[in-house]
């Protein structure tokens, strides 16, 4: 069962300009330490940040709130599995919201995909509710 779908498009050049203008103030407000470390290791630093920005926007939309109602940027974190697959983790109010929208007897799974084609970065987030396996 699908609980929510969100998508967002971010302009890489706009993120690059924001990084140049606000630097750590912007990074620390929006991105976790893990996300910052990942972006700063990449050749396309601005593109990496833009994809994560888009993922957070898309996740907030999939949660049905947008970036309001108490969800903070850092309540949503994109990390990568060892295979490179991006995964979205939520904490704080975003986690509370996810738990509230998940039907009893189900677990919520957040699927995220990221792409970029300069000057655009795009993210899609789908939140799925899967029935918990029967207890034996």
- CATH fold label, 2-131: Ribosomal Protein L22; Chain A (3.90.470)
State the DSSP string of 24-70: HHHHHHH--HHHHHHHHHSSSHHHHHHHHHHHHHHHHHHTTS-S-TT
Per-residue DSSP letter, 75: G
Measured from the Cβ of residue 10, the count of other Cβ atoms closer than 10 Å reads 25
Q: Give yes or no for a contact between 102 and 96, defined as CB atoms under 8 angstroms apart.
A: no
Q: How far apart are CA 17 and CA 32, in angstroms?
A: 20
pLDDT digits (tens, 9 = 90+) for 26-65: 999 999 999 999 999 999 999 999 999 999 999 999 999 8
The domain limits of the chain are 2-131
Encoding tokens for residue 112? 């995220």
pLDDT digits (tens, 9 = 90+) for 55-103: 999 999 999 987 666 688 999 999 999 999 999 999 999 999 999 999 9
Where residue 65 falls (left for φ over 0; alpha for ψ -120 to 50; beta otherwise) is alpha
Task: Check: pTM over 0.85? Answer yes or no.
Answer: yes
């Amino acid at each position: 069962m699908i609980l929510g779908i969100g998508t967002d498009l971010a302009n890489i050049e706009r993120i690059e300009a924001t990084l140049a203008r606000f630097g750590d103030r912007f990074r620390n407000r929006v991105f976790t330490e893990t996300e910052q470390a990942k972006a700063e290791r990449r050749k396309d630093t601005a593109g990496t940040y833009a994809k994560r920005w888009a993922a957070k926007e898309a996740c907030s939309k999939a949660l049905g709130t947008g970036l309001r109602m108490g969800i903070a940027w850092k309540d949503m974190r994109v990390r990568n599995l060892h295979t490179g697959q991006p995964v979205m983790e939520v904490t704080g109010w975003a986690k509370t919201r996810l738990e509230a929208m998940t039907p009893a007897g189900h677990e919520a799974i957040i699927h995220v995909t990221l792409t970029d084609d300069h000057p655009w970065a795009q993210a899609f987030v789908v939140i799925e509710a899967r029935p918990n396996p029967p207890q034996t």
